[in-house]
Amino acid sequence: MESFTMKRAGDTTGRFGTLMRAALLGTAMLAAGAAGAMADTLADIKKAGTINVATEMQFPPFDFLENNEYKGVDRDLFDEVAKELGVKAKYIDLPWTSVLPGLEAKKFDLVIAPVTITKERMKRYAFTVPISEATAAMMKRADDKTINKPEDIAGKNVGGGKGTSQLAQVKEFGATLSPAPTVKEYVDSNQSYADLAAGRVDVSVNSLPNLAFAAAQRKETFAVVLPPFGKPSYFSWVGRPADDDKSLVEAVNAALVKIQKDGRLATIQKKWFGLSAELPTTVPEPQL
């Protein structure tokens, strides 16, 4: 009986040891999984040394191609942000309608196309601090004497970029006029401007900075209609709201605030807009 007891005791100890080893292995696997879960987009970017960002390069002065070279406010500003992050930026050119869906599909890390902060978009995306003022305005032909204020578009033809907040705002504004204007949607702003110059529409809508730039480039052709008709708003860049993307958005925000404080933002603004303006250093509550 004694030998049997000893054998059983030894057997129990062996099973206990096996269970302990299995428990320890499980704990180690859980710890490894937790460590993997803690890895985030920013960490991956820094490990690779490259950040992939997308925009539509048909939106001057923010994003455009000149002799096949990418230029604009966003290019200059994000070059500085990439320096602060310690990585190189890879810029991807996409149609506007593909930019936000591509972000959601994780085809790139961040959208640097100027995106107007709206209540609806804040439900789906993580916005950075503003990179520019974005209030919606109108541009007419320079020789058009019939349009001197926003209300003068009643019964006229209006063009704007498909899927933009500026187009949505002019539709809402136009509904208050009698007769309401006819609104035409374009793939990009340049097509709208071309139709404006050709007389196929009477005004083009966009953000005030975009229109001011376009009118300054072609003073004999275009003139901005003042005051802006839209609600005060801002452009920001956009990231994903997921937990593993939060550190990236926070790092970009910190870089943008630093760039504004040390004067680099003002230099970029003066280069493209001819003047500088202080921007909020937190994401503002949208009015749209």
Note the pLDDT tens digit of each residue in 247-267. Answer: 999 999 999 999 999 999 999
CA gap 96, 58 in Å, rounded: 9
Q: Do both 75 and 147 map to the same domain? A: no
pLDDT greater than 90 at residue 275 = no
In this structure, are 56 and 179 located in the same domain?
no
The predicted structure's pLDDT at residue 2: 34
pLDDT at 9: 40
Q: Do 85 and 199 belong together in one domain?
A: no
Give me the pLDDT at residue 71, please.
98
Domain for residue 267, yes or no? yes
Q: Decide if 261 is inside a domain.
A: yes
* Residues 241 and 191 reside in one and the same domain: no
Local confidence band at 24 (pLDDT 50, 70, 90 cut-offs) = very low
In the block, tokens 């890879």 appear at 90
- CATH code assigned at 161: 3.40.190.10
Same domain, 51 and 127: yes
Query: 279 lies in a domain?
Result: no
The whole-angstrom separation of Cα 219 and Cα 15 is 87
Averaged pLDDT score across all residues of the chain: 89
What pLDDT, on a 0 to 100 scale, did the predictor assign at position 254? 98
**Statement: residue 81 has pLDDT above 60:** yes
In the chain, the percentage of residues whose pLDDT exceeds 90 is: 81
User: Considering the domain boundaries, does residue 211 fall inside one?
Assistant: yes
Q: Would strands 110-116 and 234-239 be described as parallel, antiparallel, or unpaired? A: antiparallel
Average pLDDT on 144-148 reads 98
184 in the same domain as 63: no
73 and 207 both lie in a single domain: no
Residues 120 and 142 in one domain: no
Give the model's confidence band at 274: pLDDT under 50 very low, under 70 low, under 90 confident, else very high: confident
In a domain, 152, yes or no: yes
Give backbone dihedrals phi and psi of 116, rounded to 5 degrees, phi first: -70, 130
The pLDDT score that the predictor gives to residue 39 is 57
Q: Which residue has the higher pLDDT, 22 or 58?
A: 58
Q: Pick from 225, 247, 264: which residue ends a domain?
A: 225
pLDDT-derived band at 66, boundaries 50, 70, 90? very high
Q: Which domain holds residue 259?
A: 42-133+234-273
Residue tagged 């230099």 (tokens): 267
Residue that wins the pLDDT comparison between 93 and 1: 93
* Same domain flag for 193 and 243: no
Tokens at 136, concatenated:
């919606």
Domain count, the chain: 2
Both 238 and 128 in a single domain? yes
pLDDT band at residue 31, thresholds of 50, 70 and 90? very low
Does 175 fall in a domain? yes
- Give me the pLDDT at residue 34, please: 41
Residues 109 and 126 grouped into a single domain: yes
Shared domain check, 48 and 162: no
Residue 129 in domain: yes
